[in-house]
Structures are given as structure tokens and as C-alpha cells.
């Protein structure tokens, strides 16, 4: 190790210390190296901006996909997060050529899910757009609900969970606009998808964006013309994604659509995605869960008298046994169960969640080996 590289490694580690003061974030190169040390691929941002640095001239005039770009294999930073790397030599080269580059982190390849809370002044949408998929009765006053902090806190309160914006266990970063980035680590194999809180299709909550596969996040310590992205509190690393947030992300479509099944399974797409994300869709455990999920989702064709509660309880009991035996994760199992339940009974989400948690709790007392019958 050269003296120069040794100094940069030492400086990047010092940047990560909990007591690091806001006005001593380190140089962009030190920040990039520290991120790379965490296993987070980085790419350059335009100096003092939060957008990726421009492509080279050839890539600007010749349209092509990142996969077909010859510049990335040769060590260039074209195509934003697609060129992200943890290679220290390449990082030193990039920021050596342009010390003013900001630092972006490719969320997907870093295994990160970042909840991006906005605090913009904007008109409040219709109540059905505040928390997609969760009806808010007219009797509930929305006075005072003005931005993403409020909508995220409302979602947490409805689920009986603590406000993620106050989660001191994970890396939280104040943004120059007054928002906050909540950094979480995804479980291996879970490919959460990006979204915008204002999207009419996939969204977690109003003014709450999700940065994951297919997106990037500004690294803490990066300074733009608007200000500095500053870490809050003592945590400097992402905590595991809370199971209840994973459940909400699965419910709101943040898992990729699984490949079509040749058997034509009646299990709804989001339920299959939740199982496949945990690796269960390719195993006997996944097949076992899919069988009971199909019984739940099949209730959608029978408004009443389909024994929905019993079938959901049975599925939850089975899932609990598979979780206890180590074949599925809690978050993936709950996500799949709730997706199937909401598919069958769209207006009974809260009741379904109670049945799911009760059934899984009972099932976890008896580990279930794939192929067994619960």
C-alpha cells in the first residue's frame, strides 16, 4: 500500500466515525473511498449538483444502452449509476481527474433500499393518493398534513410501528431541501424497485420516494449548490429493512414481476413476487406456500361463504412453520400472505393482517419441512 493510499484509507475511515462534525465531511474522494469500503458502488455526480456527470461526447451523440456502451468496460463513468464501481484505482482515477465530482451510490448493486422523504411545499393530493391502497375515511381530518414526513408518520401509526424518520438505528441523512434519506439494507436476493411518491401506479406514500434497483442516492457528505447532505445522529451504516416496511413495499408493488408460471397458478403476481424474492419460488418451500396462497386468492371469485378467514389462517400457519424452519423470511412470508389476502378481499386489509400475524405466530411454534402438510 502506498503512503498516499494509506492516508486516503485512514481518512475515509475517519469520515465514518459517529462524531464526525458536519463541516468536516472530507473530500469527495475520501467519501467515495469510504462508500466503496462499505461495498457500495459509487459513480460521479456533476460538480455541486445531485445529477450524474454527463456522458462522454461520443455517448452523448450516439444513442445506445448502458449494456452496449464500450466506455464502461474501459473505465469511464458514462451512463450514471450503470458505471458505479468499488474499484479503488478507478475511483482514484475518476476523482483525481475531477476533484469536484459529487458522489452517487448505486442502490441496487449496493443492496440498499433508501426511503427518500421530501418536505416540498405542494398541494395535498386527494386522500386516496396519500397512502396508496389504504383508504382514509372522510371522518379523519387531514389538517396539518403537509409533506412526506407527515405521510410516512401516518403510515407507521396506522401499522402500529415507530416513525422511520426517527429510527436512530440506521443511517439517516438530512438533504439540503429539508428532507431526509433513510438508508436500509435489503435482505440478499430481494430486488426492491424504485418509485416516486407522486406516482399513480407504484408508490409507498405521498412525497416519499423509494431508491433501490434502477436508481442511485447521493452519498452523505456530498455538497451541492443547495447545501450538504449531512448524516444525522451516530449511526453511519444502514440497519436491516424493517419487516413492516418490507411488507408495505411488497404490498405497493415494489417487487419485480416474477416470470410467468407454466402451471397458470392463480396466486396473484405480487404474492408470487414476495416468495420469489426470498428464493422460495424456486424451492419446495415456495411450492408449499404457493399451494395455500392459491386457496386464499381463489376466494376472490366468491364474495361470501368461501371460508376466507380459515384459508388465510391456514396459509399463515403454514408460512409460520416455513419461517421457523428457515425456508422463508418473515417479511417475504407476510408480504405474500397480505398480497393474496388483499387480492381476495380488497377492503379487509386490517382484518387480514391480524389473521396473518396470529396464524404465523402459531405456525412458528412448529417448524415445517417442505412437503409436510399443516
In a domain, 40, yes or no: yes
Q: Quick check: 306 pLDDT over 80? A: no
In a domain, 371, yes or no: no
Of 26-35, 205-214, 267-276, 312-321, minimum mean pLDDT range: 267-276
Q: Quick check: 236 pLDDT over 80? A: yes
Q: Looking at per-residue confidence, does 297 or 98 come out higher?
A: 98
211 lies in the same domain as 119: yes
Domain boundary among 100, 125, 145: 100
Q: Quick check: 7 pLDDT over 90? A: no
In a domain, 249, yes or no: no
Of 33-37, 63-67, 357-361, minimum mean pLDDT range: 63-67
166 lies in the same domain as 230: yes
Q: Quick check: 11 pLDDT over 60? A: no
Q: Looking at per-residue confidence, does 251 or 373 come out higher?
A: 251
Q: Which residues contact 259 (CB under 8 A, 6 or more apart)?
A: none
Q: Quick check: 196 pLDDT over 50? A: yes
Based on the structure, what is the number of domains in the chain? 3
pLDDT of residue 14: 44
87 lies in the same domain as 136: no
352 lies in the same domain as 232: no
pLDDT of residue 284: 67
208 lies in the same domain as 134: yes
In a domain, 127, yes or no: yes
236 lies in the same domain as 217: yes
pLDDT, mean of residues 111-137: 89
pLDDT more than 90, % of the chain: 45
Q: Quick check: 146 pLDDT over 50? A: yes
222 lies in the same domain as 124: yes
pLDDT of residue 268: 60
Q: Looking at per-residue confidence, does 311 or 13 come out higher?
A: 311
Give the tens place of pLDDT for each residue, 117-127. Answer: 999 878 898 88
In a domain, 264, yes or no: no
In a domain, 348, yes or no: yes
Q: Quick check: 22 pLDDT over 90? A: no
Average pLDDT, the chain: 83
Write down the residue that cell numbers 450503470 correspond to.
82
Q: Quick check: 104 pLDDT over 90? A: yes
In a domain, 216, yes or no: yes
Q: Looking at per-residue confidence, does 205 or 284 come out higher?
A: 205
Host domain of residue 307: 269-363
Q: Which of 81-95, 121-135, 259-273 has the highest mean pLDDT?
A: 81-95
128 lies in the same domain as 227: yes
229 lies in the same domain as 164: yes
In a domain, 225, yes or no: yes
Give the tens place of pLDDT for each residue, 287-303. Answer: 777 778 888 888 877 77
Amino acid at each position: 500500500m502506498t503512503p498516499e493510499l494509506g492516508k486516503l484509507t485512514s481518512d475515509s475511515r475517519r469520515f465514518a466515525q459517529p462524531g464526525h462534525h458536519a463541516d468536516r465531511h472530507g473530500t469527495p474522494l475520501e467519501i467515495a473511498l469510504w462508500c466503496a469500503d462499505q461495498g457500495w458502488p459509487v459513480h460521479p455526480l456533476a460538480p455541486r449538483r445531485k445529477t450524474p456527470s454527463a456522458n462522454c461526447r461520443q455517448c452523448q451523440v450516439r444513442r445506445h444502452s448502458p449494456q452496449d456502451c464500450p466506455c464502461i468496460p474501459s473505465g469511464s463513468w458514462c451512463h450514471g449509476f450503470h458505471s458505479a464501481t468499488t474499484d479503488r484505482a478507478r475511483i482514484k482515477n475518476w476523482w483525481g481527474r475531477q476533484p469536484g465530482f459529487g458522489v452517487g451510490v448505486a442502490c441496487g448493486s449496493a443492496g440498499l433500499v433508501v426511503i427518500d422523504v421530501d418536505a416540498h411545499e405542494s398541494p395535498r393530493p386527494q386522500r386516496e393518493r396519500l397512502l396508496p391502497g389504504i383508504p382514509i375515511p372522510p371522518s379523519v381530518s387531514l389538517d396539518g398534513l403537509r409533506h412526506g414526513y407527515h405521510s410516512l408518520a401516518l403510515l407507521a401509526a396506522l401499522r402500529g410501528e415507530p416513525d422511520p424518520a426517527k429510527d436512530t438505528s440506521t443511517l439517516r441523512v438530512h438533504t439540503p431541501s429539508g428532507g431526509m434519506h433513510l438508508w436500509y439494507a435489503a435482505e440478499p436476493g430481494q430486488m426492491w424497485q424504485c418509485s416516486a411518491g407522486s406516482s399513480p401506479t407504484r408508490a409507498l406514500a405521498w412525497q416519499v420516494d423509494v431508491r433501490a434497483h434502477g436508481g442511485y442516492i447521493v452519498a452523505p457528505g456530498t455538497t451541492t449548490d443547495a447545501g450538504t447532505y449531512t448524516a444525522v445522529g451516530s449511526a453511519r451504516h444502514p440497519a436491516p429493512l424493517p419487516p413492516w416496511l418490507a411488507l408495505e413495499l411488497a404490498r405497493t408493488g415494489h417487487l419485480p414481476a416474477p416470470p410467468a408460471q407454466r402451471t397458470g397458478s392463480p396466486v396473484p403476481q405480487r404474492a408470487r413476487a414476495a416468495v420469489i424474492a426470498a428464493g422460495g419460488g424456486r424451492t419446495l418451500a415456495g411450492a408449499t406456500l404457493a399451494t395455500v396462497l392459491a386457496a386464499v386468492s381463489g376466494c376472490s371469485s366468491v364474495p361470501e361463504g368461501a371460508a376466507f378467514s380459515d384459508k388465510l389462517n391456514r396459509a399463515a400457519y403454514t408460512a409460520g412453520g416455513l419461517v421457523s424452519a428457515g425456508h422463508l423470511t418473515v417479511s417475504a412470508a407476510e408480504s405474500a400472505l397480505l398480497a393474496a389476502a388483499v387480492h381476495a378481499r380488497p377492503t379487509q386489509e386490517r382484518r387480514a393482517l391480524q389473521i396473518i400475524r396470529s396464524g404465523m405466530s402459531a405456525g412458528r411454534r412448529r417448524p415445517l419441512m417442505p412437503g409436510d402438510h399443516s
